[in-house]
Structure 1
Amino acid sequence: MTSSSDFQSRRQHTSRQFDEELAGIQGRLFNLGGLAEEQITQAMKSLTEGDTALAEQVIRDDYKVNSLEVAIDEECTRVLARRQPAASDLRMMMAVIKTITDLERIGDDAKRIARCTLHLATYYPRKQQLAAIDSFGVHVRELLKDALDAMARLDVEMAMRVKQNDRQIDLEYQDIMREQLATMTEDARQIPVALNLMWVARSLERIGDRACNICEYVIYYVLGKDIRHMTLEQAEQDLHVTLQRNPASDVQP
């Protein structure tokens, strides 16, 4: 994942201690992002390889994600209370708090995938079924990586590309759900397998949604624009106007 140098370079304060506190929070945020990515990778590996020991490890390691999320949240609370930041500093803190919440939930999604691996231990799916799920997982992980890179670089254009690419994720999800429903209709013996794979697909689709959430926080921090309840087309039009007025992609505090 991209380093936080771009993220940090945006900050300019008279207080060196405040700078150090912000840099520490940013660094831990990206550590949490890397940990969440690793949990997804290992969960999908456990599924495609039928590795129940790895699945159990993913479930056990969920506490690492939870603990780091709590630690970052507590540090953000202390900084907010001590420094009482305003304008872009406050937006940055809010973006971090919201992002770590989504990353913690991504860890939960990875744990759910690992649990599905355990449930499938006696109903191992066919290679064709796993191939579609595996490909979907690769695309979702790429989406999350791009979202975290957009956060690290404070890249509004990349953030919008992630939201655009999420439409393809949604289409893949729908295809997998239709395929599993057809499988259950054709062969009742495949129902346990199909149901678990549908839960895996649902978890992956939710990870894609959370990646989009992170991109919305990037846009909020950089431009001060809240696009959470806009359609993609509305958001693109609104940001186009904003960027024309602010070519440097920076709204003044």
Structure 2
Amino acid sequence: MCSKKFHFLGAPILESNTPVFNHHISSQFNENLQDVNNKFMLMGGLVEQQVANAIHALLDTDLDMALKVQMEDDAVNQLEREIDEALTLILARRQPAASDLRMVIAMSKANTDLERIGDEAAKIARIAQNLCEEGESPRGYMETRHIGSQVRIMMREALDAFARLDAEQAVHVMRADADIDREYSSAMRTLMTYMIEDPRHISRVMNVMWVLRSLERIGDHARNISEQIIYMVKGMDVRHTSVDKVQEQVQGKIQDE
């Protein structure tokens, strides 16, 4: 029961007590599933750290950190390729069905979302690098600090939900994405007004807008991962479904079980 632990940024995440990786007659199949899951968790930790470091590099004008985030993108891309290859081999050799097939499909899609989160972190780091090299200060990036903090929490909870196979927490992450979308829209309206009123700061405001866009996209990818958790655990495709409806379906499924 909850014997295995995963770690993201030093915080322990307990695996669900559902025996996902030890219920097959073939021990090799179990090992294959566990290996790919371990790589996915490793990739999740790296990507979460990338996002945190990118925001730090921007707000603290830390050139070394900005360069480090961009270099780490290669490691994330390599893990994406390794996970894709491992999942393809599982499909070809094991021909999984039912919940095992859902797990492989969900992990494949979530793998793509993780890699794209890494890409967005690298974009933020490139903006931070440009600011550092041009001698610009991060003044006016209050919106980035606030939304960035929310996105980091959302990512951590999405990865935690994946490690625990927790559909209810996945719904919580989906709801958080809706909140971030509203704050993003509000911040963009404010920045547009500021840019119109004072054209001298157009360049700076545009940088803030690009950073906020990347953060909003990270939130979208975290939501996508949460949707895949629900599909993997409950067998429900909740894409393009309102959060309230998803919560109703998940809770109804839990009561049925």
Which range moved further: 6-15 or 157-166? 6-15
Q: Which amino acid aligns with 2:238?
A: I
Question: Which residue of 1 is the match for residue 217 of structure 2?
Answer: 206
Question: Which residue of 2 is the match for residue 110 of structure 1?
Answer: 121
Does the 8 Å CA contact 2:60/2:138 hold for their aligned counterparts? no
**Structure 2, unpaired ranges of 5+:** 1-7
The counterpart of 1:137, out of the listed 145, 148, 152, is 148
The counterpart of 2:101, out of the listed 90, 109, 115, is 90
Q: Does 1:78 align with 2:78?
A: no
Q: Does 1:223 align with 2:221?
A: no
Q: Which amino acid aligns with 2:19?
A: S
SS of aligned partner of 2:38: helix
Instruction: Provide the C-alpha distance between the structure 2 equivalents of 1:22 and 1:44, rounded to a whole number of angstroms.
Output: 33
Q: Does 1:5 align with 2:15?
A: yes
Does the 8 Å CA contact 1:120/1:196 hold for their aligned counterparts? no
Instruction: Provide the C-alpha distance between the structure 2 equivalents of 1:89 and 1:4, rounded to a whole number of angstroms.
Output: 21
Normalised by the length of structure 2, the TM-score is 0.90
Does the 8 Å CA contact 2:58/2:128 hold for their aligned counterparts? yes
Deviation by residue 1:44-69 (Cα, 9 ceiling, x = unmatched): 11100112232122112211110010
Instruction: Provide the C-alpha distance between the structure 2 equivalents of 1:164 and 1:151, rounded to a whole number of angstroms.
Output: 16
Deviation at 1:119, TM superposition (A): 3.1
Instruction: Provide the C-alpha distance between the structure 2 equivalents of 1:101 and 1:221, rounded to a whole number of angstroms.
Output: 16
Normalised by the length of structure 1, the TM-score is 0.91
Deviation at 1:109, TM superposition (A): 0.3
Count residues in correspondence: 245
SS of aligned partner of 2:141: helix
Q: Does 1:168 align with 2:179?
A: yes
Does the 8 Å CA contact 1:43/1:58 hold for their aligned counterparts? yes
Deviation beyond 4 Å, 4+ runs, structure 1: none
The counterpart of 1:241, out of the listed 219, 230, 252, is 252
Deviation at 1:4, TM superposition (A): 6.2
Instruction: Provide the C-alpha distance between the structure 1 equivalents of 2:188 and 2:18, rounded to a whole number of angstroms.
Output: 42
Change (3 A) 1:57 1:7: farther
Which range moved further: 97-106 or 118-127? 118-127
Question: Which residue of 2 is the match for residue 124 of structure 1?
Answer: 136
Deviation by residue 1:71-105 (Cα, 9 ceiling, x = unmatched): 11101111110100100011111111111100000
Instruction: Provide the C-alpha distance between the structure 2 equivalents of 1:186 and 1:200, rounded to a whole number of angstroms.
Output: 21
Instruction: Provide the C-alpha distance between the structure 2 equivalents of 1:154 and 1:58, rounded to a whole number of angstroms.
Output: 29
Question: Which residue of 2 is the match for residue 250 of structure 1?
Answer: none
Question: Which residue of 2 is the match for residue 52 of structure 1?
Answer: 63
Does the 8 Å CA contact 1:7/1:152 hold for their aligned counterparts? no
Does the 8 Å CA contact 2:168/2:250 hold for their aligned counterparts? no
Does the 8 Å CA contact 1:36/1:65 hold for their aligned counterparts? yes
Instruction: Provide the C-alpha distance between the structure 2 equivalents of 1:29 and 1:8, rounded to a whole number of angstroms.
Output: 18
Q: Which amino acid aligns with 2:230?
A: I
Change (3 A) 1:4 1:100: farther
Instruction: Provide the C-alpha distance between the structure 2 equivalents of 1:125 and 1:191, rounded to a whole number of angstroms.
Output: 15
Deviation by residue 1:178-232 (Cα, 9 ceiling, x = unmatched): 2221221222121111001100000000100111111100100111000002122
Please provide the CA RMSD for this pair: 1.7
SS of aligned partner of 1:6: coil
Instruction: Provide the C-alpha distance between the structure 2 equivalents of 1:53 and 1:72, rounded to a whole number of angstroms.
Output: 29
Does the 8 Å CA contact 1:133/1:176 hold for their aligned counterparts? no
Q: Which amino acid aligns with 2:251?
A: H
